[in-house]
A and B are shown apart, each in its own frame.
Chain A
Amino acid sequence: MGYYYRKQIAGIEINYNFHFDETSGFFHGKINKEKPVDNAVSARDCDFHIWEAEWKYKVCASTEMAILPYRTSDYLLNYNRCVYHAVAFLYKNKAYLITAQSGTGKSTQLRNWMKLYGNETKIINGDKPVIEKTDENTILVHPSPWKGKEGWGDDSLPPTPLGGVIFLSQAKENKIERMSNFQAAIPLLSRFLFTVESEENVRQACAIESCILDTVPVFHLSNVGDLASTLLIHDVITEVE
């Protein structure tokens, strides 16, 4: 039962089984209807129950679309990829992730960045890009269908090497600091969007995180959300370059 579709995400062909045919509409037509297949990625009944009980989400297509990144990651982790909660932009041939809890100002920072450096920047994804650990131990950032409420993202962009990660927190003053592995370990892992149902998936996500910590700088920006705070991000990432 259900509605079967096939979609390529981060270079991997994924078979989906949707509860609602309308869910395919969130992929903006870039998805193909398929015959039923076994082991298709799908939101489970227990997922709908959790989302309804915990966050009052109705059982509908938009909730299914919100659940799917987690189930998609469970599948993608087998290919060293995972959906990640962050905004991702491309600047001077490198991808940068700005991440924080929802409502902390990721979109504000991206808006600021586009005001300051929009001519040289492309938005890869505005909410949930896919990150990949390559066999050469580098991290690539891919576009994804989960672009957030602003709908920011460009699916035509190729995978881009990660240049750095910036964690945001709100504060009364702007300050940016490089995080140690010890400081970054938990916040970084918390932004991996997967169901955390299996030990194998935990180890796969941790392998990707290790690669991030070993290869790119991670910063913490305490900020008031103004353009000056965004300049701080620019200063540190260009300094590292």
Chain B
Amino acid sequence: MHFIIHKGIVLTKVSDVNLLVATREAWDDCPQIKLITPTQADFWEYIEKGVDQEEILKEIEGSEENELLLKLYNLFIKKMKESGYIIGEED
């Protein structure tokens, strides 16, 4: 399963700060700009590339702080769904 993201969302960086910026076509459904952490930016990159969730979870499991990362990942996905950046999922 992988997530479907809203069209027109740009992951970008200003200096050392990661941002999700919605282009005009997404303004009705998503916040225009959202600050995200470097870890969240890594998660978003995976999602944006259409990486299967199982693959992402495997990556997390293989990391040193897997419990914390899993919590952060689940929270991030929840927030991204609530704010309209993630609009669905498909197999």
Tell me whether B21 is interfacial, beta carbon within 8 Å: yes
Q: Which of A8-16, A83-91, A205-213 contacts B (4 or more CB under 8 A)?
A: A205-213
CA distance A181 to B33 in the complex (A): 15
Of A188, A196, A213, A214, most buried by chain B (CB within 10 Å of CB) is A196
Tell me whether B71 is interfacial, beta carbon within 8 Å: no
Nearest neighbor of B12 in chain A, beta-carbon distance:
A206
Q: Which of these, A186, A190, A197, A202, contacts B12 with CB under 8 Å? A: A202
Q: Could you say which residues of chain B place their CB within 8 Å of the CB of A214?
A: 15
Query: What residues of chain A have their CB less than 8 Å away from a CB belonging to chain B?
Result: 181-182, 185-186, 188-190, 195-199, 202-203, 206, 209-210, 213-214
Q: A190-B33, A196-B23, A198-B23 are known contacts. Are A181 and B17 too (CB-CB below 8 A)?
A: yes
Q: CB distance A199 to B14 under 8 Å?
A: no
Tell me the interface secondary structure of chain B in the complex: strand
Q: CB distance A195 to B24 under 8 Å?
A: yes
CA distance A185 to B24 in the complex (A): 19
Q: How far is the CB of B9 from chain A (nearest CB, A)?
A: 9
Q: Which of these, A189, A199, A203, contacts B33 with CB under 8 Å? A: A189
CA distance A190 to B19 in the complex (A): 12
Tell me whether B35 is interfacial, beta carbon within 8 Å: yes
A-B contact pairs, 7 of them (CB 8 A): A181-B16, A197-B23, A199-B10, A203-B10, A209-B14, A213-B14, A214-B15
Q: Could you say which residues of chain B place their CB within 8 Å of the CB of A196?
A: 21-24, 27, 32
Query: Which parts of B29-66 form the interface with A (CB within 8 Å)?
Result: 32-33, 35
Tell me whether B79 is interfacial, beta carbon within 8 Å: no
Query: Given contacts A196-B22, A209-B14, A213-B14, could you give 17 more A-B pairs where the C-beta distance is less than 8 Å?
Result: A181-B15, A185-B14, A185-B15, A185-B35, A186-B35, A188-B14, A189-B14, A190-B32, A196-B24, A197-B24, A197-B25, A199-B8, A199-B10, A203-B12, A206-B12, A210-B13, A210-B14
CA distance A199 to B26 in the complex (A): 12
Nearest neighbor of A197 in chain B, beta-carbon distance:
B24
Q: Could you say which residues of chain B place their CB within 8 Å of the CB of A181?
A: 14-17
